[in-house]
Amino acid sequence: MKIILASGSPRRRELLQQVGLEFSVMSADIDESVYEAETPQAYIQRMVAQKAQAALAILNKDKACLADNKQGSTVLLLTADTIGILPDGKTILIKPEDEAHALNMWQQMSASTHQVCTAVQATLLILQSAQDTNNTNKDVLFTSVWSQSLLESTEVTFVTLSEQEMQRYWQTGEPADKAGGYAIQGGAAHWVERIKGSYTNVVGLPLAQTLALIEQAEARAATLS
């Protein structure tokens, strides 16, 4: 069964490569605006569902991809989204807009515990003939036949951060494209006093839980063959 990781995150790609998983990568861009009164957990669960829909639409417009698969073939689509949440349980940690924004986030995380949440969705697709209202076979397209999602949360406690230390980290350039402005596997490793939960979840993908989800999808795909 082919696996497609619909994510541009190099960290998710590296984690899956570490366990020897064979997969291809694609990006599915969507509007990532947060709805009014939407909880952080509901937000990322909505994101992975919408990314799966967007990725499916892209696949069904890719003539080469459709031609490369036989009718009845199954493909597993993986989508994921990771966010940090400040100790208030409501404020979502996003990629810093500039140094002042990063320092403001870090000051709120200093000497306190924040959450890192990741939603992952596995969507099983099968290539089959679409039908019109007259029940006449039309184009062969991918159709979703099964999906399952998970939500993983990890508590991360930071040491007390000095302004000089925060400024020095910002100047490395590493924080600019990270939600919350830090990489636990990188230059901010020594900021972490302790974690409670999955380490790989903080990196960007709860690996053990994701592999279990893939096993569920493989078992479901076996019933379709």
Residues with a catalytic annotation lie at: 81
For residue 58 the two structure tokens come to: 């892209």
Q: Using CB atoms within 10 Å of the CB of residue 210, give its burial: 0 to 12 exposed, 13 to 18 middle, 19+ buried.
A: buried
d(CA 144, CA 56): 8
For residue 79 the two structure tokens come to: 């989508």
* 164 CB neighbour count, 10 Å cutoff: 8
d(CA 1, CA 187): 37
